[in-house]
Amino acid sequence: MLYFILRRILQIIPVIIGVTLILFILMYVIPEDPAQLILQKGATPEALANLRAKMGIDRPLHVQYWRYMRGLFSGDLGTSYRYGRSVNSILAQHYPYSIRLAFAAIILEIIIGLFAGIVSAVKKYSFWDSLVTISTTIVVCVPVYWLGMILQVTFGLKLGWLPMSGYGDGSIKYYILPAITLASVSIAYVARMMRSTMLEALSNDYIVTAYAKGLSQFKVVGKHAMKNALIPVVTLVGLDLGALMGGAILTETVFNWPGVGRTLYLAVLQRDAPVVIGGTIILVSIFVIMNLIVDIIYAWLDPRIRYEKREPGL
């Protein structure tokens, strides 16, 4: 197990190298001049040249890349073109907001998604099952920003029950709309997957055995079917967790939520390359680490996997 975890952590390195390389090339081919960005219009050519030399952006791509990577491995993500602050501090400032929103969304996803999925599987073809099927279909089809705006207009503007946007004082009411928006598609997917894996689990012979032992339906569904049905769902939730932790660009932008997603969105608009690259690296790393955690939980849920992975060899 330890070996397996170590191997997975080492796998993150090539991923990060690949991601930075691609971003670097993309940013490099954009014809905009960062020095111009920083000094605004009307700067003298000398001043621009000076700044370029100071930033090192007059050097060839591979030299710049090398410098960046050296910084990266010592924990330095560079300096923002826009704000003149270190990227580390910008991300550190906005990140907590994204995490909090992500947790709110994941909790909704797990509670509503699992519950809806289990109910529609156990009460197959009932009213509740149809309700879940129809509402998940709608949610999956509707674009996230559109759903976000509908919620804003309905509950924020028309009914005035909840704040329309922003973080405010950080109380729950500010979380509700963005968390629902962010979780909406995931809730639908989790509900649908839970329904189908639960139905599949319930059709197994061991379910008959469990009933034949004299167990209650609650125990049969909640224990015997549940653990089997959860295995694929955990993967889905885990991947979502990775994706959500990376900040939700659309949702944060629509709701003006001060997280990294919105920061990244603004940085792209402002051609703030260090923030874009640094932010993306963090997101990718978190995504990979979340996947690792999912794999570990997976191995715990399914003993068959645990034993396969124990075998030696990379």
Q: Is 297 in the site for other proteins (CB under 8 A)?
A: no
Query: Between residue 191 and residue 220, which ones bind other proteins under the rule CB under 8 A?
Result: 204-206, 208-216, 219
| Separation of alpha carbons 251 and 39, rounded Å | 32
Query: Between residue 225 and residue 284, which ones bind other proteins under the rule CB under 8 A?
Result: 227-228, 231
Q: Is 22 in the site for other proteins (CB under 8 A)?
A: no
- Report the sign of the C-alpha dihedral through residues 254, 112, 241, 231, in that order: negative
| Separation of alpha carbons 249 and 272, rounded Å | 16
In one-letter notation, the amino acid at residue 149 is M
Question: Binding-site residue total for other proteins (CB under 8 A)?
Answer: 22
Q: Is 304 in the site for other proteins (CB under 8 A)?
A: yes
- Among the listed ranges 32-40, 147-155, 191-199, 224-232, the one in contact with other proteins (CB under 8 A) is 224-232
Residue placing its CB nearer to other proteins in the complex, 173 or 223: 223
Residues 115-140: b if buried by 16+ CB within 10 A, e if exposed = ebbbbbbbeeeeeebeebbeebeebe
Q: Is 224 in the site for other proteins (CB under 8 A)?
A: yes
Contact residues for 11 (Cβ-Cβ < 8 A; gap 6+) = 288
DSSP per residue, 141-154? HS-HHHHHHHHIII
| Separation of alpha carbons 278 and 88, rounded Å | 8
Q: Is 85 in the site for other proteins (CB under 8 A)?
A: no
Query: Between residue 132 and residue 191, which ones bind other proteins under the rule CB under 8 A?
Result: none
- Among the listed ranges 13-21, 142-150, 155-163, 299-307, the one in contact with other proteins (CB under 8 A) is 299-307
Q: Which of 303, 311, 312, 313 binds other proteins (CB under 8 A)?
A: 303
Residue placing its CB nearer to other proteins in the complex, 70 or 227: 227
C-alpha of 134 from chain center = 26
Residue placing its CB nearer to other proteins in the complex, 39 or 207: 207
Contact residues for 44 (Cβ-Cβ < 8 A; gap 6+) = none
Secondary structure of 241-284 in HEC code, one letter for each residue = HHHHHCCCHHHHHHCCCCCHHHHHHHHHHCCCHHHHHHHHHHHH
Q: In angstroms, what is the minimal distance from the CB of 305 to other proteins?
A: 10
- Angle of CA points 293, 296, 301, to nearest 5°: 125
Residue placing its CB nearer to other proteins in the complex, 195 or 224: 224
Residue placing its CB nearer to other proteins in the complex, 205 or 311: 205
Residue placing its CB nearer to other proteins in the complex, 58 or 308: 308
Q: In angstroms, what is the minimal distance from the CB of 275 to other proteins?
A: 45
Q: Which of 65, 165, 302, 309 binds other proteins (CB under 8 A)?
A: 302
Query: What is the three-class DSSP state of 272?
Result: coil
Given the rule CB under 8 A, which residues bind other proteins?
204-206, 208-216, 219, 224, 227-228, 231, 301-304, 307
